[in-house]
Amino acid sequence: MKLLFIYNPRSGKGRIKNLLSSILDIFTGAGYDVTVHPTQNAEDCQQTVARLAADFELVAVSGGDGTLNEAVAGMLSLPEDRRIPIGYIPAGTMNDFANGNGIPRDMEEAARLAVAGCRKTYDIGRLNNRRFIYVAGFGAFTDVSYETPQATKNVFGPVAYFMEGIKSLSRIEAEEVRITTAEGAVLEEEALICLIMNSASVAGFGFGDFYNVDMSDGLFEIVVIPKSTKLTDLAAVISEIKNGERDSGGVHVISTSGAVIETADPVRWTLDGEFGGETNKVQFEVLHNAVTFIIGEKQDDRA
């Protein structure tokens, strides 16, 4: 069996460098011949998966959620019958995908899981021509992840996002949004935050029981948090959401297989924590059961 291991040496604090030998030993001990590729620049992970993955039985990826996003984009460029499972060793600051899927933060434990975990097919989102795994959004705080300098993330970890979020408070404005779903529903709202989600965790923030998450049901949830006159009101709404109060503060939750989202002005979209472009209209759709991941939770094996 052959395994392609792609890692981002700059993710987190670069701690994978001290664990690389141990991780490779885990892969080899599981019966794999391993090819190793450290990423060199942006999109290198995507290009490497697209170029090489079809010749392997498994791809293991280490980095932040942005690196995992690239791996998925590369896999989706292959014909369906050439796609292979993706294992993930989290090395970023927040690691939302790992947090929501039973993947340990300990990199050696995650490596063991990558070669022995449960295989699960997942829906993937497409926003215009960009793919995303678990969240796309615009509005208050959504650009904090990519505006926070990597050096600051390395020093302060998750606190770095809070620090950068405080700086953005003066820029918070509502945006007029119109959402037309594939099922025919229409929502118009002055939104502070608009998220398209397939996860129970975003930027380290857990959504508790606010909505049921099934990452393979062909649906994503669009969450719209409406305009608030006070920041304290917004904080209260977010707190209630975290505690699982679904109808908090007039928040809208729509389950849909796709939608057209239009805004009065161009907005800056974030996809899996990375900048996703600026526009006033997007077409969103769900790619049903598009990619197989290896995860920690016990799931039905659909690979």
pLDDT (average), residues 85-102: 85
What confidence tens digit (pLDDT) does each residue in 250-278 have? 788 889 999 999 999 999 898 887 888 99
Q: What is the pLDDT of residue 156?
A: 35
Q: What is the pLDDT of residue 235?
A: 60
Q: What is the pLDDT of residue 104?
A: 93
What confidence tens digit (pLDDT) does each residue in 277-293 have? 999 999 999 999 999 99
97 closest CA partner among 119, 75, 124, 64 = 64
Q: What is the pLDDT of residue 101?
A: 86
What confidence tens digit (pLDDT) does each residue in 143-155 have? 544 444 444 344 3
Are 40 and 70 within 8 A, CB to CB? no
**In whole angstroms, how large is the CA radius of gyration of the chain?**
19
* Cα separation, 171 vs 167, whole angstroms: 8
What confidence tens digit (pLDDT) does each residue in 156-191 have? 343 333 334 434 544 567 899 999 999 999 999 998
pLDDT (average), residues 198-213: 62
- Indicate the SS3 state at residue 86: strand
What confidence tens digit (pLDDT) does each residue in 225-248 have? 887 655 556 566 666 665 555 555
How far is residue 31 CA from its own chain's centroid?
30
Above 50 in pLDDT, residue 216?
Answer: yes
144 closest CA partner among 124, 125, 173, 171 = 171
Q: What is the pLDDT of residue 18?
A: 92
12 vs 206, higher pLDDT: 12
Q: What is the pLDDT of residue 166?
A: 39
31 vs 193, higher pLDDT: 31
Q: What percent of the chain shows pLDDT beyond 90?
A: 54
Q: What percent of the chain shows pLDDT beyond 70?
A: 75
Q: What is the pLDDT of residue 248?
A: 58
Q: For residue 30, give both structure tokens.
A: 């599981």
* Cα separation, 22 vs 24, whole angstroms: 5
Q: What is the pLDDT of residue 237?
A: 62
Above 50 in pLDDT, residue 124?
Answer: yes
pLDDT (average), residues 94-122: 91
What confidence tens digit (pLDDT) does each residue in 49-60 have? 999 999 999 999
**At 300, is the pLDDT very low, low, confident or very high (cuts 50, 70, 90)?**
very low
Q: What is the pLDDT of residue 152?
A: 38
Other beta carbons within 10 angstroms of residue 208's beta carbon come to: 15
Q: What is the pLDDT of residue 5?
A: 98
Q: What is the pLDDT of residue 98?
A: 87
pTM for this prediction: 0.81
Per the prediction, the chain carries an average pLDDT of 82
Q: Roughly what angle, to the nearest 10 degrees, separates helices 16-29 and 107-116?
A: 30
